[in-house]
């Protein structure tokens, strides 16, 4: 049996079966990122000989309707798949009420009790609010953005998470005036060398950054779709106050685990009181033996949909098919779909230094210029490739990082090799495919500690 229920956002947004990724995460995000890339491709196309005189402009409603129609088809597909597998689906809110017992309450308030031998918690997270005047009344989150029934107009994105930067990126790519308000660093938890390069690229492409400020109040100046809002913000370094006017304020300051209102205290499941995250052993088992947990709600684990899927698949095989494989939470590839995409697998440079010692790692790196960008003559030496090697282990590659187009496609392929123990020597002996971006990884020769020039002049 599956219990699935979406608590509407403060503005009333809700969605169907499939969780965050499908409805308000990876899927609509990637599609809107693609819409922005197509805008750039239109500009590039003139240099490749395409001639068009009609003014090119973007229609928000056409895009959101098409994206929501596709998501709707996925929601239906999941319902059909559950039915074909004879899985009972209840659109109801589940909470533990006693040992081996949950109460499921539907949207009409009708409750049922169910018992089971085992339970799997996969409730995920929801966007955090600031706790300031006007935040829930006037601001939106990523839970609202992808089905917003009007173009957001001039937008302030609050936060520096990958959600914040991805949304800021595609909104700017669609031609909107976008500002990002950052409390401290970009992309906390990611390689900071790469994060700062992403920030620089976004600023160079017209996205404004207000650094070391946090909003303290949001006021409505004028109702509308969009309306007008005044944001009052305070410096994190002193008492300076600034004000700004925007049509939309998008909060992307982090997400909170949905674990505090599902009756875990009734069955004794321990959570981290500060974060709400659930500690589990290496088999995704909580401190209560018959209750398991996967996904973003796990303490000290990656918050990525494919990781949750993999962990869930392996858990079920261990429980019911006699398998023994456990989920690998280290060599996990991921991509941040900012305007300049960032793909990564393995350790960040900071974590590698911390774990292995600076003297025991070698970092090889280089800028590169995608051939497709040479004719329009844009963004030379903005793309960047970096690998981190463990000197003590035959220069085994323990960190892989790339900034450039199609970063996800590049990273996915290398991730398999990294799981197999790829070394720098093996990478060097691999013949590159010419002329593609990923080819750069077969010719990396400059180490970071050498300080030598890594700028590229051509293909």
Active-site amino acid positions? 434
Distance CA 217, CA 131 (A): 9
**Phi and psi of 216, rounded to 5°?**
-120, -10
Q: 247-264 burial by CB neighbour count: b if 16+ within 10 A, else e? A: bbbbbbbebbbbbeebbb
Distances (CA, A) of 307 to 68, 162, 351, 400: 25, 17, 20, 18
Instruction: Please list, in sequence order, all residues whose beta carbon lies within 8 angstroms of the beta carbon of residue 351, skipping any fewer than 6 positions away.
Output: 399
**Phi and psi of 398, rounded to 5°?**
-110, -5
Q: Which of these, 216, 218, 184, lies nearest to 10 by C-alpha position? A: 218
Question: Do the beta carbons of residue 70 and residue 238 sit within 8 Å?
Answer: no
Question: Do the beta carbons of residue 326 and residue 282 sit within 8 Å?
Answer: yes
Q: Which of these, 235, 163, 165, lies nearest to 199 by C-alpha position? A: 165
| Residue with tokens 């300049």, as numbered in its chain | 340
| Residue with tokens 């040992």, as numbered in its chain | 99
């Amino acid at each position: 049996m599956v219990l699935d229920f979406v608590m509407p956002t403060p503005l009333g947004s809700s969605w169907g079966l499939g969780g965050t990724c499908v409805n308000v995460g990876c899927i609509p995000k990637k599609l809107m990122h693609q819409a922005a890339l197509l805008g750039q491709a239109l500009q590039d196309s003139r240099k490749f000989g395409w001639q068009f005189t009609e003014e090119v402009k973007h229609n928000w409603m056409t895009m959101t309707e098409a994206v929501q129609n596709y998501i709707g088809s996925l929601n239906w597909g999941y319902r059909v798949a559950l039915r074909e597998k004879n899985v009972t689906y209840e659109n109801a809110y589940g909470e533990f009420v006693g040992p081996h017992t949950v109460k499921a309450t539907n949207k009409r308030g009708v409750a049922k009790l169910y018992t089971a031998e085992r339970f799997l918690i996969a409730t995920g997270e929801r966007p955090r609010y600031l706790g300031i005047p006007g935040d829930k009344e006037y601001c939106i989150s990523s839970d609202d953005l992808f089905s917003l029934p009007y173009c957001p107009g001039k937008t302030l994105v609050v936060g520096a998470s990958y959600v914040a930067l991805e949304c800021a990126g595609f909104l700017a790519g669609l031609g909107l005036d976008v500002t990002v308000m950052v409390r401290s660093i970009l992309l906390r938890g990611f390689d900071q060398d790469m994060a700062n390069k992403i920030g620089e690229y976004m600023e160079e492409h017209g996205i404004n950054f207000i650094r070391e400020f946090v909003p303290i109040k949001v006021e409505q100046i004028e109702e509308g779709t969009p309306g007008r809002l005044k944001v009052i913000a305070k410096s994190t370094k002193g008492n300076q106050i600034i004000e700004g006017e925007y049509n939309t304020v998008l909060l992307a300051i982090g997400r909170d685990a949905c674990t505090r209102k599902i009756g875990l205290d009734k069955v004794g499941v321990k959570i981290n009181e500060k974060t709400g995250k659930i500690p589990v052993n290496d088999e995704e088992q909580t401190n209560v033996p018959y209750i398991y947990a996967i996904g973003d709600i796990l303490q000290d684990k990656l918050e990525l949909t494919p990781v949750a899927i993999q962990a869930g698949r392996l858990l079920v095989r261990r429980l019911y098919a006699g398998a023994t494989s456990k989920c690998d939470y280290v060599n996990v590839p991921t991509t941040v779909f900012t305007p300049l995409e960032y793909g990564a697998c393995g350790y960040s440079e900071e974590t590698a230094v911390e774990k292995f010692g600076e003297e025991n790692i070698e970092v090889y790196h280089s800028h590169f210029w995608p051939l497709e960008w040479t004719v329009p003559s844009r963004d030379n030496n903005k793309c960047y490739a970096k690998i981190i090697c463990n000197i003590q282990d035959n220069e085994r590659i323990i960190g892989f990082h790339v900034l450039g187009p199609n970063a996800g496609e590049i990273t996915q392929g290398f991730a398999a090799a990294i799981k197999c123990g790829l070394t720098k020597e093996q990478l060097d002996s691999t013949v590159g495919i010419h002329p593609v971006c990923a080819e750069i990884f077969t010719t990396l020769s400059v180490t970071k500690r050498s300080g030598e020039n890594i700028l590229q002049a051509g293909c």
